[in-house]
A and B are shown apart, each in its own frame.
Chain A
Amino acid sequence: MLFRFHNLIISALFLLVSQLSADDTQAREIFVEAILAEGSEQTALVESLSTTASTLVPDFLEAWKRGDIFLLEADGSAAPTPLLEVEPEQEGGTPTYFRVIDGEEMAAGSFDPAALEMARPSRKTRRVFTMTIDLLALSTPNVQERADAALKLGLKRDDDILPKLILLRETETEPSVIEALNEGIAVSMLSHGTKEGQMDAIQLLRDENSIAGLDALKNLRHDLNDGLATHPFSEEELAKLTASIASIESYISWTDFVGTCFRGLSLGAVLLIVALGLAITFGLMGVINMAHGEMIAVGAYSAYISQTVFYSLFSESTFALETYFLFAIPFSFLTAALCGFILERTVIQFLYKRPLESLLATWGVSLILQQGFRLIFGAANRQVRSPSWLLGNVEIFDITFGFNRIFVIGFAILIVFGTWFLMAKTPMGLSIRAVMQDPQMAAAMGIRINRVRMMTFAFGSGLAGLAGVFLSQIGSVGSNLGQSYIVDSFMVVVAGGVGNIVGTVISALGIGVTDQALQPLLGPVMGRICVLVAIILFLQWKPGGLFPSKSRSLD
């Protein structure tokens, strides 16, 4: 699995050695010259690569940077021959070599691979690599790449690049690229343009709500204040500049606000998934389940196991990566439920009358499980990879919505709905509620309370397992995974009102949003502390939580 990405690079390099066109031939000649050249000559040659229309350049530069280019010393005074090394597809095989000048494969045995010397670009040269690649990208057919490159080059505020960008804007037809070009040119103009150019740029950046341009605007204002600017500004012009900065900043605070709401929701959803199982085992059943965190870890390790199984069944294919997660969801639920079942039968069933002592016993179980994970899976954390449909994001108005975050919100809604359905609409749910409210009476009515408790605890643990699957997507899977969530889970359940699922939902979302809203103001740690203190104070005010369970009995 470690070699998957490497293979991508290798296949790109195979393209490099197989294609031959006029542009490529020219590019190859420059490559060879550049590899053999030194100092500023080398830098200039690399820069000149941007004028060729060859698609090989980025791959070539990448290979050079990675140290895949080697020199084969020639006899006598002839210049050495640059070779490209391609790693074998299987581990342990021998690499193959291709001549850079024409892409011919070197026959094995025609030279001694041990005598090859790695050709390294000088540090100065490496610096122009990215710029060269970006300049080349200005002429690629890929719209997104073109737009990105245009903006990036504009942000460099380089004297030499600016005219190229302006030239390009005249011929460009794609609106998104034109937009990027405009933004980039405007940023460059702020440093190098005429007074009119600067004023236009200030206006344009303001209209575009350009976050990328904000720094350049601020720098300009700094320079003006320090008297370093090329053109002095009048009061009025300065006011315009300040207004432009303020406008962009207010746009940023707006995106921050919406972004914070979204991030708060997603954190709330994580807390909700994590706490929902506890809302059942602790809230409904009254078991202070300190091993809840370890049930989450069981779920996460199950995700790891299903990934391993899929990889061994279907090799390390994309199919395995894309589908294992769908299998991991029910699998984790079942393993965690099974663990919960065993825990209930062996320990907890004896402790229903002694809730505070269930805390001690389950804490002991939690220690055993933590060390057990370490003995079984090793002390090192395990990697669980995300399927591609959980990677990536959409960006709307400069706010990033990660797919995994959208997924967790949907996942939380689904789980809550499922739990509600089970509790409110099924005969099983009816007996669960009956047993939790009055076990003796329920038993008298013919409900097998032992079985119901067993099932309920297993269900609650299963929900914890589901939380584990999801957590494996946003963090690491290790023996301490559960510990980081245990206090939070208890707080969510207690603040929501023990025994009330709606309360759990509301308190999880409330805590999530508050936490994210406080973070930018107070920093990540103080934000969390404030949330904890707020919960403690909230409980002074409403000791039963948001939705206290109503009862006439005392004690």
Chain B
Amino acid sequence: MIKFSETQRSLAGIIAVTFFLVVAMPALNLFGSEGSFLHISDYQLNLWGKYLCYAVVAVSLNLLWGYTGLLCLGQGLFFALGGYAFGMHLMLMIGEQGAYKSALPDFMVFLGYKELPAHWIPFKSLSFSLLAVLFVPGIVAGVFGFLAFRARIKGVYFAIITQALTYAACLLFFQNSFTFGGNNGFTDFKTVLGNEIFAPSTQRALFFISAVYLSLCLFLIWWLTKTKFGKIQRAIRDSENRVRFSGYSTTTYKLIIFVVAAIMAGIAGALYVPQVGIINPEEMRPSKSLEIVVWVAVGGRATILGPVIGAIFVNWLKSYSTYHYPEYWLIILGALFVLVVLFMPNGIVGLPEQLKGFYRKHRFRFQQKKEAAAEA
């Protein structure tokens, strides 16, 4: 019997998922005949594209929470910031095809703006916008993380102030006077990189990019866990003070991870916006960020594929139950979280191990009983 190491097994899993998402799904969409069981419709593919973006956010949170022990309740903020940065570019690309045939985004026209606010102008350039997708979440995370980690805010405190941060940002973006479209956010995009945004080919391409990006993130994390950096990361999670006393600057490590996770989420946001067609401050609500935490917990924290499975499973469940049991979906989701926390601390991925454990325990007891009976 061949024994695989943990890393080898993870790698195999990543490769399997990559193959499935990057090759199999687009192929089934392109070549599967309509109506057949194996065919994936454009609608399904688009839906899965959205799930994959969510999965990346979950992966980024897992990097923070699962591997470093930093529970961030504001991961949705970075996701949304990336989305807004790219959304601004998409808004400007609408050009004069909007309802008012004006070069300004529609919401500015009906709020009486005469010209584009200065901070919007650079977003006309695609490369600037793409850099903003990286840098806006990165800088916000950098500044916030620097302050928080320097003051050695951790654990519950860190969780709660990240929640306050995303809540404050949510209120800020809800304001119409903040020039980011208020409650409506950005919508009614027409083109992305010159392609018609709703064309199946565009959506397929976006799905493909999301799938590749997710796979890259998974490989990155897999690689990280093998490096010394990854080891220190996990050591911080398990006992930060010991790491610090051993001479490592835990603040720097945590800051780097926090910024990387924020950028990872930001890019996911940028991919999410053209696929969903809207970005608004709802994404920054504290409850959205809590949902992300739940995806990770449901899938299995500190595992490589757990967050992906969690994000896709919970969102699929959400889509399914809002369609079939609209009255009960909150209860289903709520009960799921409670059950996972209480009975499945390792999530879906850990479930087989757990069951095996039960089975062994049970068998052991059973044997004991049998032996006891035999002795008697």
Could you list which residues of chain A lie within 8 angstroms of chain B, going by C-beta atoms?
286, 288, 290, 347, 350-351, 354-357, 359-361, 363-372, 375, 483, 487, 490-491, 494, 498, 525-526, 528-529, 532-533, 535-537, 539-541, 543, 554-555
Contacts and interface: CB of A to CB of B under 8 A. Distances in A.
B153 A363 contact: no
Given A364-B338, A525-B175, 10 more contacts: A288-B156, A290-B290, A354-B345, A360-B297, A363-B337, A369-B334, A371-B328, A494-B157, A529-B172, A532-B171
A328 B203 CA distance: 56
B330 interface: yes
Interface of B: 71, 147-148, 150-153, 155-157, 159-161, 163-165, 167-168, 171-172, 174-175, 239-241, 286-287, 290, 293-294, 297, 327-328, 330-331, 333-338, 340-342, 345
Contact of A555 (B167, B175, B239, B331): B239
Given A356-B155, A360-B294, A529 B171 contact: yes
B330 A371 contact: yes
Given A355-B156, A494-B160, A360 B327 contact: no
A351 B334 contact: no
Contacts of A356: 71, 155-156, 159
A487 B151 contact: no
Nearest to A363: B290
B33 to A, nearest CB: 41
A535 B164 contact: yes
Which applies to chain B's interface (DSSP): helix, strand, loop or mixed?
A: helix
Given A364-B333, A494-B157, A533-B168, A357 B327 contact: no
B130 to A, nearest CB: 29
22 contacts: A288-B159, A290-B290, A355-B155, A356-B159, A361-B341, A364-B341, A367-B330, A367-B331, A368-B330, A487-B286, A490-B160, A491-B160, A494-B157, A494-B160, A494-B161, A528-B171, A532-B165, A532-B167, A536-B165, A539-B153, A540-B151, A541-B151
B151 A525 contact: no
Nearest to B152: A543
Contacts of A286: 156
A370 B157 contact: no
B74 to A, nearest CB: 11
Contacts of B156: 286, 288, 355-356, 498
B157 A555 contact: no
A546 to B, nearest CB: 13
Max chain A Cβ within 10 angstroms of own Cβ: one of B147, B240, B241? B147
A528 B151 CA distance: 24
B152 A360 contact: no
A439 B297 CA distance: 28
Contacts, number: 121
A300 B286 CA distance: 23
A357 B164 contact: no
A351 B338 CA distance: 11
B56 to A, nearest CB: 21
B334 A364 contact: yes
A537 B161 CA distance: 10
Contacts of B345: 354, 357
Contacts of B159: 288, 356, 359
A543 B151 contact: yes
A167 B174 CA distance: 56
Contacts of A533: 168
A286 B156 CA distance: 9
Contacts of B168: 529, 532-533, 536
Contact of A543 (B157, B163, B330, B331): B157
A498 B155 CA distance: 13
A494 B167 CA distance: 15
A490 B334 contact: no
Contact of A554 (B163, B171, B241, B335): B241
A31 to B, nearest CB: 50
Contacts of B334: 363-369, 371
Contacts of A357: 297, 341, 345
